[in-house]
Amino acid sequence: MGIYCFSSTKDGVVTVWSSETGERLGTYDGHTGVVWGVSIDSKSKRMLSCSGDTSVRLWDVESGKHIATYPHNLSVRVVAFAQGDQRFLSVTDQIMGYVPVIHVFGCETDMQVKQSVPQALLQIEAPGGGLKITRALWGYKNESILTANSDGTIRVYDTMAGRELKSIKAHERSVTGLQMDKWGTTFISCSKDGTSKLWDTRSLECVNVYDVGRPLNAASISPLMDHIIVGGGESAQDVTLTGATTEQFKVRFFHANFATQLGSVLGHFGPVNALVFSPDGRSFASGSEDGFIRLHQLDDDYFKRTEDERFPGALSNLVASF
């Protein structure tokens, strides 16, 4: 999220919004199935979308022009630009007896739709046994691909050899979120087990643990402060059974180093499934099953407080949504 905020839904349409005003700027129509995710290049010039219609589409952000289609044999769950924007990864679903497959494609740069069907540069099969890949991102210098998995593991794959290098038992339940920091030195994971963890990108060692006690679906690292945000909540069925309140749908702030909860922000009345800080760290966006995206502008006082004043309660009323 920079000057633009992109959203994807089950109606098959990707929408772009102004991050400053919340105004809808346009849509990208073309998919015939649910759009599971999008990825924007480093200059906000091109956008990738992946869908249940078994395709990844490449778009020109400003004009909305469809540049290229990358066909797959199954529903595509994840898509992500590589560092440098010359390649991207996509992940197909574990469905109908098939194992998830990680694909690496070269990315069109001439803004023209090629007549030939794009072919994958690399394909890596994930382990079977019902394993589902929920998230994926590029590792250090694009030398590896990290995947979040339904069995609680984070797996590392070599992009040169096309094989699994390492499997880390990161969480007790499904890993639902995986996001890199601005510099690529650490990344954060979150899980249905109610915890979020900060990891060193190169050593893959756990740096810190943030315990919420509720299922988490998303987490993001501030590019400006030593803070992280997490969000989640139980599904509608589980909420009905447990009688939980909207308290569980808060976006919570933690100090990245001390793992102390600093405060929380109310607003959503459904599970929070997406969180991301803006590149300048002065705002963040949250997306929820309640059908809303909320753009939160952080108050100037938030950046002026000393470290001692940023502990529990210090974030109350510092975030405004529009």
Integer CA distances (angstroms), 102 to 60, 79, 105, 162, 178, in order: 24, 10, 10, 9, 16
User: What DSSP designation does 239 have?
Assistant: H
> Can you give 290-311 as a three-state secondary structure string?
CCCEEEEEECHHHHHCCHHHHC
Tally the C-alpha atoms within 13 A of residue 23's C-alpha that lie toward its C-beta: 4
Domain spans in the chain, listed from the N-terminal domain onward: 1-169, 183-322
How many angstroms separate the CA atoms of 120 and 269, rounded? 41
pLDDT in tens, 173-183: 999 999 999 99
Phi/psi at 308 (5° precision): -65, -25
- To the question of domain 183-322 being in CATH 3.30.565.10, the answer is no
How do residues 250-302 score in pLDDT, each as one tens digit? 999 999 999 999 999 988 999 999 999 999 999 999 999 988 999 998 888 88
Dist CA 149 CA 136 (whole Å):
9
- Are 15 and 46 in contact by the 8 Å Cβ rule? The answer is no
Q: Give residue-wise pLDDT tens across range 103-139.
A: 999 986 554 455 577 889 999 999 877 899 999 999 9
240 sits in which H/E element:
helix 236-242
How many other CB atoms sit within 10 Å of the CB of residue 175? 27
pTM value surpassing 0.85: yes
Percent of the chain as helix, strand, coil, to the nearest 5: 5, 50, 45
pLDDT over 90 percentage in the chain: 73
pLDDT category, 304, cuts 50, 70, 90?
A: confident
Residue 299 CB neighbours (<10 A): 14
Q: How many CA atoms lie less than 13 Å away from 203 in the CB half-sphere? A: 6
Fold match, 1-169 / 183-322: yes
Span between the terminal Cα atoms of the chain, in Å: 15
**For domain 1-169, is the CATH number 2.130.10.10?**
yes
Structural contact between residues 256 and 206, judged by C-beta atoms closer than 8 angstroms:
no
Q: What percent of the chain has pLDDT over 70?
A: 88
Residue 56 near residue 79, CB atoms below 8 Å = yes
311 pLDDT above the threshold of 50: no
